[in-house]
Amino acid sequence: MMMRALRRRINAWYARAGRALPWREPDCGPWGVFLSEVMAQQTPLARVEPIWRDWMQRWPTPAALAAAAPGDAVRAWGRLGYPRRALRLHEAATVMVERHGGDVPTTPAELLALPGVGAYTAAAVACFAFGIPEVVVDTNVRRVLARTVEGKAFPHLTLTRAETDLATRAMPAQRHTESSARDEANVWNVAVMELGALVCVARGPRCEECPVADLCAWNVAGRPAYEGPPRRGQAWHGTDRQVRGEILRRLREEHRPVPLTALDGAGPERAQVLRCLDSLVADGLVEPLGRNRFRLPA
């Protein structure tokens, strides 16, 4: 009974409060949905949207991206974060051309076989692009269910089997056999994520705006403090991630090979810069040339 009430209220809230994003529009095809899901991994949607629009204008189909140089994808990725995702998108587009006639594959199993696609992305694309009511579990979903159902301030640090089982129970039982249950499940997947992103946020949750505040076990219990392992934020300044990003920024701004000296100062110490440069070469994000010159992959 509670799960039905949660779905009903959260879905109704989403219908009036959900953000108008281009990949949620009815005329957005599977390729647009696929791009959005890869780009949105660990990245705020406000940062994703302008890059998504640029990519869709430049590469409106998998074939268009596959025909481009991998370095073009890395350059167009900008500072979206985790640039290996740009290479994986290029690789996935190539596989779509080679094995799927230039289309995004339609089944979760085929999606999961694409380069760089994990369980979450495969389920999300199957659901949002093709209407297949897969169980979609991201950080926002886990947090909403931990609070509303389990009465905990936060979910586990990493996804557990119990959390996956809980997310499965939150879906309509007849989602694979009844069209109404399937539609409800597909809306639920995006609605509960949206609630976690906008209202049931990690810090400073806006319970006064929540459509299920009176049903939420955590809120009703007085919002008890988190008692689990420390949840530390990711450091940035001076880390290898920052240095790798600065090296890529310098290479993106040049449309010709750059000498090693042009990368000096990308980090606090030259040894760190060289270590990060080696790791970028190993990841396929940077191509080494003769005479100590480097460029994005051609």
Q: 25 catalytic, yes or no? A: no
CA distance 247 to 63: 29
Catalytic annotation, pick one of 37, 91, 163, 194: 37
Residue 103 has φ and ψ, to the nearest 5°, of -110, 155
DSSP annotation string for the chain: -HHHHHHHHHHHHHHHH----GGGSTT--HHHHHHHHHHTTTS-HHHHHHHHHHHHHH--SHHHHHTS-HHHHHHHHTTSS-THHHHHHHHHHHHHHHHSTTS---SHHHHHTSTT--HHHHHHHHHHHH--------HHHHHHHHHHTT--SS--SS--HHHHHHHHHHS-TTTTT-HHHHHHHHHHHHHHHHHHHHTS-SSS--GGG-TTTTT-HHHHTT-PPP-SS--PPPP-TTSHHHHHHHHHHHHHH-SS-EEGGGGTTSSSSHHHHHHHHHHHHHTTSSEEETTTEEES--
Q: Which residues contact 13 (CB under 8 A, 6 or more apart)?
A: 191, 195, 211
Whether 215 and 5 have beta carbons less than 8 Å apart is answered as yes
Q: What are phi and psi of 107, to 5 degrees?
A: -110, 150
Annotated catalytic residues are 37
